[in-house]
Amino acid sequence: MSDLVSQKVNMIFSSLKGETVHALKDITFTLKKGELLTVLGPSGCGKTTLLNIAAGFLRPSSGSINLGGKEINGPGVERGMVFQQGALFEWLTVNENVNFGLRMKKEDPIKTAKKVEEWLDIVGLKGFGNTPTYQLSGGMQQRVALARCLINDPDLILMDEPLGALDALTREKMQSLVLKIWKETGKTIILITHSVEEALLLGERVYVMAPRPGRIHKEYKLPFASRGLKEDLREIKNDKEFVSKREEILTMIWDMEEEIMGKEI
Amino acid sequence: MITGFITFFTIFAVVGAILYGRKLIKTEKTDAVFGNPERAKGGVHWVVVGSSFLLLAWLYYSWDIAKSFYPKSANELCQVAKVNESLLSLKYLFPIVERQHKSTAIIKRENVNIEDKIIIIKNDDNLKDQDKEIFINILRNTKIMIPSLTDERYLEDSTKNIINELTIRLNKLTANFPKNSYPNLSEEEENEINEGLKKQLGWGATGMEVPPLPESKRGLKFHAAAVELNSISDEFFEMRNHNPEYLRHSEAIFGEIKEYMDGLDDGLELDYIKDIKKLVRRLEYASIFPPKTLDELENSIRAFDKVQNKEQGHLRTIDILLFPAGTIVASGPQCSEAGPGRWLPKPSDTFRIFGEMLKPSVGYKMIPMLWYEMMGVNKIVGFILPDWIADIMPGKYPVHNQDGTVDPNFKSKVLDVVTGEFEAFKIPVPTGHIWDSFLRVFLGLSLGIILGVPLGLFMGLNRFAKGFFDPMVELYRPVPPLAWAPLVITVFGIDNVGKVFLLFMVSFSIMIISARAGASGTQLSKIHAAHSLGASRWQIIREVIFPNSLPEILTGIRVAVGMCWGTLVAAEFLAGTTGIGFVENVARKYMQYEVIWITIFVMGMLGLLFDLTIRKIIDKTIPWRGKG
């Protein structure tokens, strides 16, 4: 029932000078509960705008996004968000960060403490509860951000390039973690990424977006995410099908980029 | 004694630290390259050198080294200064300090004056020819009068005798001065000096004063010589070379002037004749003598000067070495320090006076520097609780009975409490100049923080608030706080309220600006995160925006403390009866240089204490700063 339905979402930014930017045009899609969607595209294609609308931080110029039949107009607990830099509250410890959402709901601190411990265990941060977040590495910070988001038990998780700032090794580990959490919790996830490889690995469905105006250019349904739950990610990466899909999408994005550059020249 | 020890100790410390530093340079290889920031790290031994140099410079330039090693030197130098002072007017007669004989210089100058005046009179079209003739005639006569003073033939025997007598006295002094038996004081004179010495305080005991009565054998010599020289000098300058020839001339001239001035009304002519009269009078009182007359006297003075210089002995060396950039000067019977010793107090005196001031029974102007007093809790309660609490209680205040008594009721009992009229135990409360200054800063700063931070956060988050309050803040903020002081003090009074309000104004604007910068500098992603974690508006302000602004706010507090401290001291200068700035201002009026330096030191220490405290607080409360 709690499907994410986007109907003809348009987003037009206009400056005071009268210039307008058509950031999103007629975005229509349906995401069933438990699906993992990755969104790819060259910079400026409106990926983050789409995510912000889904999160409720922006109102679309026209059209609407519904979650479970209810129109989204404003941020809410049922849609959790994970940001590129973690956006942790550095004045709080790991425990307090993860606890934040529950504390805002004024839940019983004893119960929440138990929950926090469970989630820290899941994301692999057992024993780091009292560490100040500014002492954590980038990967650990993203684990905290994930736990902080998941502890609220949201219906939809929105991830805005969550692994973009991590080094290759940490990134791979985190990709496995995302898949693991997806499988264990069965959450609906939208993940935005720059990396074609990541999009293919994690995305049950992949949208490739095109800029000016931002629109869904191509849609894929891929088996790699479900395979990634069982197989080693590195093996999948060397899979022939994977490689050919990757090259196809890369070429597509290259063409788009070239088109933009050409226009500008 | 202690000063001497400290002097030697610091010198050893400097030498030791320098040697240690040299040794270190030879052994350290890790930071061999110039420009490596490691080269600026460490170096406690250079701190020793730096502070020792500071201390030595203070000891040296305040003449405290002289005082501790040669306690009597100032007193002896004072006696020497007396001799020099007495000699000076005599020396000025001859080409000893000056280039020319005084007589020569005067004659030259007045001749020029007379010629100039004649030319001016001739060219003045406003004068009648008849008057011009009279003026020029008088001036010509005056010029003719000069040789009557300079011609040996006219010099009277009595004048010659006086000069001879003075020369003999001087020669006698020169001869006796080096002798051990000099001065041959009568018992009476000796007693007089001894009586004076009993009452005499030490060097620097009362501020900058140098004890004037001679305390040593050598001092007594110079003292006696100064007395004799004064008498010689006085006698010389009483003497006038008014011989009959001169008198004949001058009487004629003054007669002419008087005749002309008789019945003369105010006007140009009167100005001229008064000017001419002044010129003639100058010649009358100038010590003009024939060219060779004073030769003997000059030789005697030179001889004595040589002898007294020799008699000063190692005192001259002490004067040059240990009294840098100045010396002791005499003026009449008094002596004083002229140089840095005057305005740079000696460490020993400073610490003594500081210790004295710290005693609660002494303090400054009857108020201790920092102490406590016992205060009843009732007074504190009465001060804090406003009186209107009693007014809003139900019922009416009691009315007196027929027998003249008053029955208290609930309302009157409440009034007693809020006005502090009840019995209570006493608690110690800090008091004193330092405490008053501290309390003012604390109150002004706290008010500024309590009101400024919320308003600043609000302005950082809300377009209306920013636009509405910005003009008010930006209009008063750029004005130097002290420029507000006269106004604020007039409105709120010279006591605490005015100063606290002034400091509130200072800290309020700083806190607004820093809290605003903190609020508007919050990362959008953090606010987004808080929103999607279900935080309400109030929760976002309290849990995200406020802690996120803390670094800016605390930095703002640090700036505000500095500004408040500076403003307060200046405000206390302007008006008030307590506070560290008040102490300095009073000390300035009475030229108590030690107290001035003590207040400067106390202010520096308190300012440093404030800053260190806030730095500690910053390190404790926002360890994440710059790491987010």
Q: Is the pLDDT of residue B169 over 90?
A: yes
Residue whose token pair is 């270190």: B24
Min mean pLDDT across A60-74, B223-237, B594-608 is at A60-74
The residues, ordered by sequence, that sit 6+ positions from B103 with a Cβ below 8 Å of its Cβ are B93, B150, B286, B287, B288, B289, B291
Mean per-residue pLDDT for B69-78?
90
CB nearest to A100's CB, from B533, B550, B624: B533
User: Each residue of A178-196: b (16+ CB within 10 Å) or e?
Assistant: bbebbbeeebbbbbbbebb
Instruction: Please tell me the number of Cα atoms within 13 Å of A44 on its side-chain side.
Output: 10
Residue B362, both tokens: 């002494």
CB nearest to A87's CB, from B523, B539, B624: B523
pTM of the model: 0.79
Beta carbons of B531 and A57 less than 8 Å apart:
yes
Residue B43, both tokens: 């170096």
- B30: confidence class by pLDDT, cuts 50, 70, 90: low
Distance in Å, alpha carbon of B449 to nearest chain A alpha carbon: 21
Cα angle A69, A67, A34 (rounded to 5 degrees) comes to: 115
Boundary residue ending a domain (B61, B86, B108): B61
Q: Is the pLDDT of residue A1 over 60?
A: no
A94 neighbourhood in chain B, CB within 8 Å: none
Closest listed residue to residue B67, CA positions, set B168, B162, B204: B204
- B444: confidence class by pLDDT, cuts 50, 70, 90: very high
Compute how many other C-beta atoms are within 10 angstroms of the C-beta atom of residue B242: 14
One domain, residues B52 and B90 = no
Query: Nearest chain B Cα to A79, which residue?
Result: B532
The answer to the question of residue B577 being in a domain is yes
Q: B268-285 and B129-150 helices cross at what angle (nearest 10)?
A: 0
The residues, ordered by sequence, that sit 6+ positions from B270 with a Cβ below 8 Å of its Cβ are B261, B264
Asked if A96 has any chain B CB less than 8 Å from its own CB, the reply is no
Q: What is the pLDDT of residue B28?
A: 67
Asked if A15 has any chain B CB less than 8 Å from its own CB, the reply is no
- More confident call, A23 vs A190: A190
Helices (H) and strands (E) in chain A, counts: 9, 10
Beta carbons of B624 and A101 less than 8 Å apart:
no
Asked if A250 has any chain B CB less than 8 Å from its own CB, the reply is no
Secondary structure element (H or E) that encloses residue B77, with its range: helix B73-91
Residue whose token pair is 């400026």: A44
Secondary structure element (H or E) that encloses residue B69, with its range: helix B64-69
One domain, residues B484 and B571 = yes
Beta partners for A22? A12
- B207: confidence class by pLDDT, cuts 50, 70, 90: low
- A70: confidence class by pLDDT, cuts 50, 70, 90: confident
One domain, residues B307 and B398 = no
Closest listed residue to residue A100, CA positions, set A74, A81, A84, A121: A81
**What Cα–Cα distance (Å) separates residue B570 from each residue in A16, B335, B372, B484, B565?**
50, 34, 25, 12, 9
Radius of gyration of chain A (CA): 19
Beta carbons of B532 and A76 less than 8 Å apart:
yes
Interval B529-583: pLDDT, tens: 999 888 889 999 999 999 999 999 999 999 999 999 989 988 898 888 889 999 9
* Interatomic CA distance for residues B383 and B613, integer angstroms: 29
Q: Is the pLDDT of residue B313 over 60?
A: yes
A104 neighbourhood in chain B, CB within 8 Å: 530, 533-536, 539, 543
Q: What is the pLDDT of residue B421?
A: 83
**What Cα–Cα distance (Å) separates residue B543 from each residue in A101, B121, B323, B548, B618?**
11, 94, 65, 8, 18
A76 neighbourhood in chain B, CB within 8 Å: 532, 534
B548 neighbourhood in chain A, CB within 8 Å: 89, 91
The answer to the question of residue B571 being in a domain is yes
Most confident of A9-18, A55-64, B145-154: B145-154
* Model-level ipTM above the cut of 0.95: no
B543 neighbourhood in chain A, CB within 8 Å: 89, 100, 104
Q: Is the pLDDT of residue B141 over 90?
A: yes
- More confident call, B168 vs A225: B168
Distance of CA B441 to the CA centre of its chain: 26
Distance of CA B362 to the CA centre of its chain: 22
B547 neighbourhood in chain A, CB within 8 Å: 89, 91
Asked if A91 has any chain B CB less than 8 Å from its own CB, the reply is yes
Q: What is the pLDDT of residue B450?
A: 95
Q: What is the pLDDT of residue B470?
A: 92
Mean per-residue pLDDT for B271-284?
92
In sign, the C-alpha dihedral spanning B469, B472, B475, B478 is: negative
The answer to the question of residue B351 being in a domain is no
The answer to the question of residue B149 being in a domain is yes
One domain, residues B137 and B261 = yes
Q: Tell me which DSSP letter residue B541 carries.
A: I
* Interatomic CA distance for residues B412 and B395, integer angstroms: 10
One domain, residues B413 and B483 = no
* Interatomic CA distance for residues B146 and B103, integer angstroms: 11
Q: What percent of chain B has pLDDT over 70?
A: 98
The residues, ordered by sequence, that sit 6+ positions from A102 with a Cβ below 8 Å of its Cβ are A112, A115, A116, A151, A152
At CB < 8 Å, which residues of chain B contact A?
523, 525-526, 528-536, 539, 543-544, 547-548, 550, 622-624, 627-628
Beta partners for A21? A13
B535 neighbourhood in chain A, CB within 8 Å: 100, 104
Interval A91-118: pLDDT, tens: 888 888 888 888 888 888 888 888 888 8
- More confident call, A231 vs A35: A35
- The DSSP result for B403-472, as a single string, is TS-----HHHHHHHHHTT-S---EEEEEESHHHHHHHHHHHHHHHHHHHHHHHHHHHHH-HHHHHHHHHH
Compute how many other C-beta atoms are within 10 angstroms of the C-beta atom of residue B132: 16
Q: Is the pLDDT of residue B507 over 90?
A: yes
Structural domains in chain A, CATH included, are 4-78+156-167+176-264 (3.40.50.300), 88-153 (no CATH)
Residue B514, both tokens: 């820093």
Closest listed residue to residue B149, CA positions, set B244, B285, B289: B289
* Interatomic CA distance for residues B572 and B588, integer angstroms: 13
Q: What is the pLDDT of residue A135?
A: 86
- More confident call, B205 vs B155: B155
Distance of CA B478 to the CA centre of its chain: 31
CB nearest to A134's CB, from B523, B532, B624: B624
Total beta-carbon pairs less than 8 A apart between chain A and chain B: 73
User: In this structure, what CATH number is given to the domain that contains residue B577?
Assistant: 1.10.3720.10
Beta carbons of B539 and A104 less than 8 Å apart:
yes
One domain, residues B411 and B539 = no
Distance in Å, alpha carbon of B546 to nearest chain A alpha carbon: 11
Asked if A90 has any chain B CB less than 8 Å from its own CB, the reply is yes
Residue whose token pair is 């501790």: B68
Closest listed residue to residue B73, CA positions, set B210, B273, B168, B237: B210
Distance in Å, alpha carbon of A81 to nearest chain B alpha carbon: 7
Mean per-residue pLDDT for B18-37?
79
Query: Nearest chain A Cα to B535, which residue?
Result: A104
A57 neighbourhood in chain B, CB within 8 Å: 528, 531
Contact assessment for residue A140 and residue B572, using Cβ atoms and an 8 Å cutoff = no
Could you tell me whether strands B209-210 and B334-338 are parallel, antiparallel, or unpaired per DSSP bridges? Answer: antiparallel
Q: What is the pLDDT of residue B596?
A: 92
Contact assessment for residue B461 and residue B546, using Cβ atoms and an 8 Å cutoff = no
Contact assessment for residue B385 and residue B417, using Cβ atoms and an 8 Å cutoff = yes
Q: Which of B532, B536, B549 best probes binding to A when mutated, by most A CB atoms within 10 angstroms?
A: B532
Report phi then psi at A117, rounded to 5.
-60, -45
Compute how many other C-beta atoms are within 10 angstroms of the C-beta atom of residue A253: 20
Q: A94-104 and A109-123 helices cross at what angle (nearest 10)?
A: 130
Asked if A83 has any chain B CB less than 8 Å from its own CB, the reply is yes
Q: What is the pLDDT of residue B305?
A: 93
The answer to the question of residue B353 being in a domain is no
One domain, residues B190 and B134 = yes
Beta carbons of B525 and A85 less than 8 Å apart:
yes
- B626: confidence class by pLDDT, cuts 50, 70, 90: low
> One-letter amino acid identity for B384?
I
Boundary residue ending a domain (B430, B445, B461): B430
One domain, residues B543 and B608 = yes
Asked if A55 has any chain B CB less than 8 Å from its own CB, the reply is yes
One domain, residues B440 and B572 = yes
CB nearest to A134's CB, from B523, B544, B628: B628
The answer to the question of residue B210 being in a domain is yes
Distance in Å, alpha carbon of B541 to nearest chain A alpha carbon: 12
Distance in Å, alpha carbon of B455 to nearest chain A alpha carbon: 22
Compute how many other C-beta atoms are within 10 angstroms of the C-beta atom of residue B595: 22
A134 neighbourhood in chain B, CB within 8 Å: 623-624, 627-628
Distance in Å, alpha carbon of A264 to nearest chain B alpha carbon: 31
Closest listed residue to residue B45, CA positions, set B9, B19, B6, B8: B19
Contact assessment for residue A133 and residue A94, using Cβ atoms and an 8 Å cutoff = yes
Q: What is the pLDDT of residue B381?
A: 86
Q: What is the pLDDT of residue B78?
A: 93
Distance in Å, alpha carbon of A90 to nearest chain B alpha carbon: 6
Beta carbons of A57 and B525 less than 8 Å apart:
no
Mean per-residue pLDDT for B306-325?
91
Mean per-residue pLDDT for A143-163?
87
Distance in Å, alpha carbon of A128 to nearest chain B alpha carbon: 17
One domain, residues B447 and B521 = yes
Beta carbons of A104 and B534 less than 8 Å apart:
yes
Q: What is the pLDDT of residue B627?
A: 64
Min mean pLDDT across A248-262, B79-93, B114-128, B265-279 is at A248-262
Q: What is the pLDDT of residue B628?
A: 54
Interval A6-16: pLDDT, tens: 888 888 888 78
The answer to the question of residue B369 being in a domain is no
What is the count of structural domains for chain B?
4
Walk across the sheet containing A156-160 and list its strands: A79-82, A156-160, A188-192, A36-40, A205-210, A215-221
A91 neighbourhood in chain B, CB within 8 Å: 547-548, 550, 622, 624
Q: What is the pLDDT of residue B208?
A: 57
One domain, residues B270 and B182 = yes
Full residue range of the structural domain in which residue B241 is found: 67-344
Secondary structure element (H or E) that encloses residue B374, with its range: strand B371-376
Q: Is the pLDDT of residue A260 over 80?
A: no
Mean per-residue pLDDT for B116-134?
91
Terminal-residue alpha carbon distance, chain A = 48
Contact assessment for residue A156 and residue A20, using Cβ atoms and an 8 Å cutoff = no
Mean pLDDT score of chain B: 89
B523 neighbourhood in chain A, CB within 8 Å: 87
Mean per-residue pLDDT for B244-269?
90
Beta carbons of A75 and B531 less than 8 Å apart:
yes
Q: Which of A104, A119, A153 best probes binding to B when mutated, by most B CB atoms within 10 angstroms?
A: A104
CB nearest to B532's CB, from A55, A89, A134: A55
Beta carbons of B525 and A87 less than 8 Å apart:
yes
One domain, residues B441 and B576 = yes
> One-letter amino acid identity for B486?
P
- More confident call, B415 vs B206: B415
- B319: confidence class by pLDDT, cuts 50, 70, 90: very high
A 131-170 residues with CB < 8 A to B: 132-134, 145, 148-149, 152, 158
The answer to the question of residue B193 being in a domain is yes
Q: Is the pLDDT of residue A263 over 90?
A: no
> One-letter amino acid identity for B289?
F
Q: What is the pLDDT of residue B396?
A: 84
Secondary structure element (H or E) that encloses residue A219, with its range: strand A215-221
